[in-house]
C-alpha cells in the first residue's frame, strides 16, 4: 500500500517523531508500505506488535505498541545503502548505514545507535556520530 493510504491512519504518531534529532531522514511523502502485524502476546515478548516497513530512498522500519487502544511509536530503524560493495563469508553486500532508536523494545538497545557495515574498516569498528550519518545519507542520495 502507499504511505498515504487511509488504513495507516491509526499510526499517525509516526509523524510526530523528530527524526532529525537522531540523524534520520523524514518519512517520504510517496512510498510503498508493508504492514507486519503480531498478536498481543508478541508485545509481551518483544515490546511491540506492529512494524511498518516504509520503502523509499532509504528504508524505515517503524515499530508500534498498542496501548490503551492507540498505537504508540516505540522506535524505528532506518537503513541507507551506499555505492560500494564488500565481501564477507556470507556473500557480497552494499555498504549500509543503520540508524536505530528504540524505547523499551526487547532485543533492542534503548536509545540511539548508528552503525556502518562496509569496506571502510575504520567506520565499521565504531558507532557513527549523527554528523557522520547525515553526511553519508546525503552523499548516498537518501535525503
Please state, in angstroms and rounded to a whole number, the distance separating the CA atoms of residues 38 and 87. 34
Give the CA distances from residue 38 to residues 49, 63, 139, in Å, rounded to whole numbers and listed in that order: 5, 11, 36
Nearest CA to 100 out of 142, 53, 56, 61 is that of 61
Q: What are the pLDDT digits (tens) for 29-40?
A: 999 999 999 877
Residue 106 has a pLDDT of 76
Contact assessment for residue 95 and residue 84, using Cβ atoms and an 8 Å cutoff: yes
Q: What are the pLDDT digits (tens) for 93-134?
A: 999 999 999 987 777 888 999 999 999 999 998 999 999 999
Residue 84 has a pLDDT of 97
Q: pLDDT band at 24, cuts 50/70/90?
A: very high
- Whether 41 has a pLDDT exceeding 90, the answer reads no
Amino acid at each position: 500500500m502507499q504511505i498515504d493510504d487511509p488504513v495507516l491512519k491509526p499510526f499517525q504518531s509516526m509523524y510526530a517523531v523528530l527524526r532529525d534529532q537522531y540523524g534520520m531522514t523524514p518519512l517520504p511523502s510517496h512510498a510503498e508500505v508493508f504492514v507486519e502485524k503480531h498478536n498481543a502476546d508478541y508485545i509481551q515478548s518483544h515490546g511491540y506488535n506492529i512494524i511498518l516497513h516504509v520503502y523509499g530512498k532509504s528504508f524505515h522500519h517503524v515499530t508500534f505498541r498498542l496501548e490503551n487502544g492507540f498505537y504508540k511509536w516505540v522506535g524505528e530503524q532506518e537503513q541507507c545503502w551506499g555505492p560500494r560493495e564488500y565481501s564477507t563469508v556470507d556473500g557480497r553486500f552494499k555498504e549500509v548505514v543503520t540508524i536505530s532508536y528504540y524505547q523499551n523494545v526487547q532485543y533492542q538497545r534503548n536509545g540511539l545507535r548508528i552503525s556502518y557495515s562496509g569496506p571502510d574498516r575504520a567506520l565499521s569498528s565504531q558507532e557513527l556520530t549523527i554528523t557522520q550519518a547525515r553526511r553519508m545519507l546525503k552523499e548516498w542520495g537518501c535525503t
